């Protein structure tokens, strides 16, 4: 992974580094397409094979049939395209957790504005104890927040800010028992590649993922798993030739399966790159084994942070996966952004978050114990500037 050279990297939840074999697979695929001719009869079997192989592999990773998978460009489009295709009636309620990504929240707000829906918050940002307690509390709060008008629940599988894990299968069962059977939209940005997702992906109506974070694939390719009932009720939204059952004619209608949410021309070499990255991860062990390693490393970091009296982890129990968020106890301490900048000068890369204001370090299977020690030492020496600095912000 060239991206890991000469630096200590903790931003896997922002973007995973691309392994050299994946970069080579992208280059090889691009060359093959050019050599065969990019729009020739000779190239189509090659292209179809690459797409079908990745769809099949992802079906295994997500634990659903390949007919339930649509390729997208990223997590956000995987959430938004099917969401906008659902039937809405004015007055219905959208219950959105207070830990969702701003892009998805904005899309829900606009949906609500156009269809006269009401948005209601589901408070989960304060669930910082162990995962079991958090799971029990989120179910309790969800049950209390549901109304006869609730038509959609939006929640992430692994919360990008606190690092807490949500009990998606239990949430799905609760919603199925509810008389209105609200749709369940799950943002899987932080989960695919970091923990087993099959049960959650199979239980949600929309389970959206990307290849460019924990899967260490190239940016620009994501996947969404859609439920059978959603496929029966949702209309395609952003429509193109790939949405059509007969791509040469608009008369035949849309694909009956999830491909109705695919649009048009995509960059095929990215498919080859993601397929290679997934194979490399598979070679490192099962998803349970990889999750265990990620969680073990995150727990070491979390434990090390407990020994620094100047810092406070957001989670009060060891993290359930690879996200470790923390902040300075002293309100006059440098801002998280200033600390990120200072650590960056030491080539240690983590990120700051705005809500709640904190720093976030991620551990992946490639993280090394020495890297954790290095971060802990730098934080202990508090080699951070005396006052806050500004820096450009990115919401990803
Ligand atoms: C929870 C969550 N949702 C959505 C996104 C946006 O991802 P994408 O750019 O793939 O849509 C991110 C990116 O960090 C995220 O962490």
DSSP 42-75: TTHHHHHHHHHHHHHHHHHHHTS-GGGEEEESSH
Single out the residue of 94, 214, 95 nearest to residue 163, CA to CA. 214
What's residue 382's pLDDT? 65
Centroid of ligand 1 to alpha carbon of 381 (angstroms): 32
Centroid of ligand 1 to alpha carbon of 394 (angstroms): 11
Instruction: Tell me whether the omega of the peptide bond preceding residue 356 falls within 30 degrees of 0, making it cis.
Output: yes
DSSP 129: S
With a 6 Å cutoff on the Cβ, whether 396 touches ligand 1 is yes
With a 6 Å cutoff on the Cβ, whether 160 touches ligand 1 is yes
Centroid of ligand 1 to alpha carbon of 380 (angstroms): 31
Q: How far is residue 342 from each of residues 307, 351, 386, measured CA to CA in Å?
A: 21, 11, 10
- All residues at 6 or more sequence positions from 385 whose CB lies less than 8 Å from its CB, including other chains: 334, 338, 341, 342
With a 6 Å cutoff on the Cβ, whether 75 touches ligand 1 is yes
What's residue 381's pLDDT? 85
Centroid of ligand 1 to alpha carbon of 121 (angstroms): 19
Centroid of ligand 1 to alpha carbon of 75 (angstroms): 6
What's residue 391's pLDDT? 44
With a 6 Å cutoff on the Cβ, whether 76 touches ligand 1 is yes
- All residues at 6 or more sequence positions from 64 whose CB lies less than 8 Å from its CB, including other chains: 198, 201, 202, 225
Provide the pairing of β-strand 323-328 with 69-72. unpaired
Q: Which atom of ligand 1 is nearest to the CA of 395?
A: 14
Q: Which atom of ligand 1 is nearest to the CA of 156?
A: 1
Domain(s) labelled CATH 3.90.1150.10 in the chain stretch across 2-16+285-380
Domain(s) labelled CATH 3.40.640.10 in the chain stretch across 24-281
Q: Which CATH class is domain 24-281?
A: alpha beta
Is the CATH code 3.90.1150.10 the one for domain 2-16+285-380? yes
Single out the residue of 321, 373, 323 nearest to residue 313, CA to CA. 323
Q: Whose CA is nearest to atom 14 of ligand 1?
A: 396
Q: pLDDT tens per residue, the chain (396 residues)? A: 999 999 999 999 999 999 999 999 999 999 999 999 999 999 999 999 999 999 999 999 999 999 999 999 999 999 999 999 999 999 999 999 999 999 999 999 999 999 999 999 999 999 999 989 999 999 999 999 999 999 999 999 999 999 999 999 999 999 999 999 999 999 999 999 999 999 999 999 999 999 999 999 999 999 999 999 999 999 999 999 999 999 999 999 999 999 999 999 999 999 999 999 999 999 999 999 999 999 999 999 999 999 999 999 999 999 999 999 999 999 999 999 999 999 999 999 999 999 899 999 999 999 999 999 999 999 998 644 444 444 444 444
- Helix (H) or strand (E) run with residue 325 in it: strand 323-328
């Amino acid at each position: 992974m060239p991206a890991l050279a000469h630096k200590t990297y903790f931003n896997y939840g922002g973007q995973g580094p691309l392994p050299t074999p994946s970069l080579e697979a992208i280059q090889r695929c691009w060359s093959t397409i050019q050599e065969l001719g990019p729009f020739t009869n000779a190239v189509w079997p090659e292209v179809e094979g690459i797409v079908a192989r990745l769809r099949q592999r992802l079906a295994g990773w997500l634990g659903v049939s390949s007919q339930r998978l649509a390729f997208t460009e990223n997590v956000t489009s995987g959430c938004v395209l099917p969401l906008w295709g659902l039937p809405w009636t004015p007055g219905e309620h959208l219950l959105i957790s207070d830990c969702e990504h701003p892009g998805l929240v904005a899309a829900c707000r606009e949906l609500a504005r156009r269809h006269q829906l009401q948005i209601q918050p589901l408070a989960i940002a304060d669930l910082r104890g162990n995962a079991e307690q958090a799971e029990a509390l989120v179910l309790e709060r969800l049950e209390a927040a549901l109304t006869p008008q609730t038509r959609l629940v939006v929640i992430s599988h692994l919360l990008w800010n606190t690092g807490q894990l949500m009990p998606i299968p239990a949430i799905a069962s609760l919603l199925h028992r509810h008389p209105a059977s609200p749709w369940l939209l799950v943002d899987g940005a932080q989960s695919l590649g970091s923990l087993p997702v099959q049960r959650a992906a199979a239980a949600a109506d929309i389970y959206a993922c990307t290849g460019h974070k924990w899967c260490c694939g190239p940016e620009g390719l994501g996947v969404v798993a859609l439920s059978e009932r959603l496929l029966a009720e949702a209309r395609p939204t952003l429509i193109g030739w790939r949405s059509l059952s007969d791509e040469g004619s608009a008369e035949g209608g849309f694909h009956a399966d999830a491909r109705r949410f695919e649009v048009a021309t995509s960059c095929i070499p990215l498919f080859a790159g993601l397929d290679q990255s997934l194979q490399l991860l598979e070679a490192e062990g099962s998803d349970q084994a990889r999750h265990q390693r990620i969680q073990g490393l995150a727990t070491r970091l979390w434990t090390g942070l407990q020994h620094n009296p100047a810092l406070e982890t957001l989670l009060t129990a060891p993290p359930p996966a690879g996200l470790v968020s923390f902040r300075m106890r002293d309100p006059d301490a440098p801002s998280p952004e200033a600390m990120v900048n200072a650590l960056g000068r030491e080539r240690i890369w983590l990120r700051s978050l705005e809500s709640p204001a904190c720093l976030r370090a991620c551990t992946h299977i490639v993280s090394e114990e020495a890297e954790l020690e290095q971060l802990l030492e730098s934080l202990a020496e508090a080699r951070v500037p005396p006052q806050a600095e500004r820096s450009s912000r990115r919401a990803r």
